[in-house]
Amino acid sequence: MFLAFATWWRRAVWGMLWVATGLAWAAEPRLPQPSGRVVLTVTGLIDVRNQGAQAVFDLALLEALPQHRFTTRTPWNDGPVTFSGPRLRDVLAAVKARGTQLRATALNGYRITIPIEDAQRFDVIVATRKNDAPMAVRDQGPLFIIYPFDSDPQLRDKRYYERSIWQLKALHVE
């Protein structure tokens, strides 16, 4: 009888361990795989990935995040422009970024460092649309990190204009 109980106990414990391990793996946050062309790659100090050591997004994955919009004047456009897309802080939350700054890179090689604090202090968005239309590369797209310049006079400054990177292709979290 003791042998039967010991065998049952061993099987029960191993079964619970397998279930617990499976639940831990299932509870691990995962970013879905993109089904379209990758438009943004996030690397560095991130805890959620979907392609090796990086997190990649197509437009559909970015548009699955909460969407926001604002209208603002910029130094690059005549008159106010409406931008929409996910907030930068939501993109960083999706990959569980844990750094203090971002190295942003554009398709044309332009690079700028952006303090992650900006994403928390201001409602910065990763614009996927300009005046409700997707942005072509020739029109500063497909992605544009844009600050709501008209919401705070402090944002009408060269440093924030420089951090507004169009043709964004990659973010490296440091």
**How many CA atoms within 13 Å lie on the side-chain side of 160?**
22
Which pLDDT band holds residue 82 (cuts at 50, 70, 90)? very high
Per domain, the residue ranges of the chain are 1-30, 33-173
* Mean pLDDT, residues 38-44 taken together: 98
Bigger pLDDT: 91 vs 27? 91
* Mean pLDDT, residues 105-125 taken together: 97
Whether the per-residue pLDDT at 2 is higher than 90: the answer is no
Q: Domain spanning 33-173 has what CATH number? A: 3.90.420.10
Instruction: Note the pLDDT of residue 28.
Output: 55
